Amino acid sequence: MGRVRELVTGARRIVVKVGSSSLTTASGGIDDQRLDTLVDVLGGLAGAGREVVLVSSGAIAAGLAPLQLRRRPRDLATQQAAAAVGQGLLIGRYTAGFARHGLTVAQVLLTVDDVTRRAHYRNAYRTLRKLLDLGALPIVNENDTVATEEIRFGDNDRLAALVAALVDADLLVLLSDVDALYTGSPSDPASVRIPLVRSDADLAGVTIGAAGKAGVGTGGMVTKVEAARIATGFGIPVVLTAAPLASAALAGDEVGTLFEAAATRPAARLYWLAHATAPRGRLHLDEGAVAAVVARRKSLLAAGITAVDGSFAAGDPVDLVDAGSGTPVARGLVNYDAVEIPALLGRSTPELAAALGPGYEREVVHRDDLVLL
């Protein structure tokens, strides 16, 4: 386990994720002592010349007490209202806390669209890169006040893994109220801490449990392990531990669980497309189109599509499905609305241009906006 210290102490750009339960009181308000302790750890890192990006939950939780809500609401509208109140409170506390270390913080609110569409992705990357260049500390959260899918199905563990890929981080640290990954429930005396995960084979027989069970948060160990898979698949090592152990973990002490990284890194935006999006529809491909997309990495043309399912607009993510087996083989950003595609099926690009005009002389899904599944 000596490599833990080397991986951590050698990391220059670090993404740290902290969960709601590690920042708030049981009633939902912000716990000043917990927040300040974390700020002091991260402020020390930044002061030592490390680049730090903080992915922080807690906006919805922080908004509960001011709105006199006793527990996290189940309905979307009230969640969004709590986030609208809590996000300002949360960033205000971070601003004051990091100011003690002479650091300026920047609030960055993201949705899936911000990092899957090409133009939006470039903007998100440039903004985060410039903030780090200017010595600011970005604090990232999902834009819960306007997002829908993100609140109901997303979690900040996954967001943190994808932000780590976006900024090309050297290390991801996931902080929660559990000090490590265990072979079973941490409360079970028979459970044993897992210090190192090299691959999924090391998780064989491990009982992770269900997500969404803890207090004011939405995550659980399931989401943290999945986030670790996403980050390590991008070539970023992950340390999973409890928030009170953040200082020890970031100093390289052998605490928590280390997930080793894969040897190579794929394209970051396509990694977002594969792991952060939900398909809005399906395009069914004939055998030739499947071979072109999968084996030859070509763009998808209308001539190879046999059917279309779903309701989507140009720019939305769709799954490309092998019409023979029904298996999704790729995901991409489509260039046409769903209602346009039936008239294009099976027709060549020159034929479409002649019949419908030059605006239809383009790919249905361009290879630059396509990732194999």
57 is in an annotated binding site: yes
Secondary structure (3-state) at 201 = helix
123 is in an annotated binding site: no
365 is in an annotated binding site: no
What is the C-alpha separation between 179 and 176, in angstroms, rounded?
7
Q: Could you give phi then psi for residue 202, rounded to 5 degrees?
A: -75, -10
157 is in an annotated binding site: no
Q: Which residues are within 8 A (CB) of 51 and not within 5 positions of it... i.e. 6 or more apart?
A: 12, 13, 14, 132
What is the C-alpha separation between 199 and 261, in angstroms, rounded?
9
Secondary structure (3-state) at 120 = helix
Q: Could you give phi then psi for residue 252, rounded to 5 degrees?
A: 95, 5
277 is in an annotated binding site: no
44 is in an annotated binding site: no
1 is in an annotated binding site: no
Are 313 and 337 a contacting pair, CB within 8 Å?
yes
36 is in an annotated binding site: no
219 is in an annotated binding site: yes
The neighbouring-strand residues paired with 107 are 139
Are 177 and 214 a contacting pair, CB within 8 Å?
yes
144 is in an annotated binding site: yes
329 is in an annotated binding site: no
Structure tokens at 108: 């960055």
156 is in an annotated binding site: yes
176 is in an annotated binding site: yes
Known binding positions: 17, 57, 144, 156, 176-177, 218-224
Residues flagged as binding site for ATP: 17, 176-177, 218-224
Residues making up the annotated binding site for substrate are: 57, 144, 156
